[in-house]
Amino acid sequence: MTLEQIIFYKKVIECVTLKKENKSILKNEFPIFLDGKAGRGKTFLINAICYAIRAMKEIILLCGTTALATLLYEDRRIAHSLFRIPVEENNINIQSSIKLNSTHAELIKVAIIIIWDELPIANKAIKFFIGIGDFRQVASVVKGAGKSSTINASIKTSFLWKYFKIYTLNQLIHNASDPIFAEFIDNISENYEDQDISLNIFKTTTNIEMAISFLYLENIFTNHEMLQKRAFLSPQNNEIVNDHPTATPDYLAQLTYSGIPNHEIHLKIGAICSIM
């Protein structure tokens, strides 16, 4: 762990231990919001905290605003499912459907801590602890609304936000070995003035043979693990299909792989999705 991660980890575990022992906790310690750009190790840190708290035989509830966020953790649920939050076109007077004396309400009551990932995407009408996220990424979604309504829906405009204690992760983890690419990603997230972002750090080619040589290195077919991590991403597969007559569009549409969306996706009306 980095020093920033250690400080946050120790603070959370200390507070949970005090609560477990029925000792007082300073009021300004919770709720907490863990802020960090992409690649700063938020997921690793939260997983470590979850393992530690569950090792204490305590109940911890972990949820995410979207299904995509929940894939990063074990024993997780979508926030709308955990708190029985209805999906409405507007966010006026949203109320949970959880009954006061139900077993579900009791589960939330006995949980020693609740963690919510992608909190910045959630609408402030949802009250809720530890929030995780990056305000530089996707904002709250307000149907048919403009910039002002989107900002007003943010948790930052809620009267609860002033009570959050903010911790920030700044040290690179995932892209630490590639600071140039990390800076490129950061520049996109910090681009509040819609300035053009240079793509000069990427090599380009219009030659299909050069692209194939770059993607599929010599003797790569003997390394199945590396081969699985390489593929052409293209809006259309025309060029690829021409080079491989057996890989027709109809054939490609029938292929299904774990972790990769199918050619046709059937969604429920009102389902919450994150488009990457």
- Residue 118 and residue 10 share a domain: yes
Locate 184 and state its tokens. 């490129």
Query: Does any domain span residue 72?
Result: yes
- Residue 209 and residue 163 share a domain: no
Locate 114 and state its tokens. 């609740």
Task: Compute φ and ψ for 78, nearest 5 degrees.
Answer: -70, 140
Query: Does any domain span residue 260?
Result: yes
Domain final position from 169, 191, 218: 169
pLDDT tens digit at each of 276 positions of the chain: 889 999 999 988 888 888 777 766 655 667 888 888 888 888 899 899 999 988 988 888 888 887 777 777 887 788 888 888 777 666 666 777 888 888 888 888 888 888 888 877 666 555 547 777 887 777 776 777 777 877 787 778 877 788 788 888 888 888 788 888 888 888 877 766 767 778 888 888 888 788 888 888 877 878 878 877 887 776 665 555 555 556 666 777 777 777 667 777 788 887 777 666
- The CATH number that applies at residue 155 is 3.40.50.300
Query: Does any domain span residue 177?
Result: no
- Residue 216 and residue 115 share a domain: no
Among 64, 34, 52, CA closest to 131: 34
Query: Does any domain span residue 187?
Result: no
- Residue 146 and residue 225 share a domain: no
Cα–Cα distance, 57 to 106 (Å, whole number): 17
- Residue 163 and residue 227 share a domain: no
- Residue 115 and residue 17 share a domain: yes
Residues forming a β-bridge with 60: 113
* Cβ-count burial 177-214 (b if 16+ within 10 Å, e if not): eeeeebebbbeeeeeeeeeeeeeeeeeeeeeeeeeeee
- Residue 226 and residue 119 share a domain: no
Name the residue with tokens 């692209």: 211
pLDDT on residue 128? 47
Query: Does any domain span residue 192?
Result: no
Domain final position from 169, 193, 215: 169
Cα–Cα distance, 252 to 267 (Å, whole number): 21
Q: Could you give the number of structural domains in the chain?
A: 2
- Residue 141 and residue 24 share a domain: yes
Query: Does any domain span residue 216?
Result: yes
pTM above 0.75, yes or no: no
Residues of the domain holding 53:
3-169
Locate 173 and state its tokens. 């983890």
Residues forming a β-bridge with 257: 260
- Residue 139 and residue 18 share a domain: yes
Among 216, 208, 263, CA closest to 241: 208
Domain final position from 124, 153, 169: 169
Query: Does any domain span residue 191?
Result: no
DSSP string covering the chain: --HHHHHHHHHHHHHHHHHHTT----GGG-SEEEEE-TTSSHHHHHHHHHHHHHHTT--EEEEESSHHHHTTSSSEEEHHHHTT----SS-TT------TTSHHHHHHHH-SEEEEETGGGS-TTS---EEEE-TTS-----TT--HHHHHHHSGGGSTTGGGPEEEEE-S-STTTT-HHHHHHHHHHHT-TT-PPPP-TTS---S-HHHHHHHHS-TTGGG-HHHHHT-----S--HHHHHH-TT--HHHHHH--BTTB--SS----TT------
Query: Does any domain span residue 101?
Result: yes
- Residue 145 and residue 30 share a domain: yes
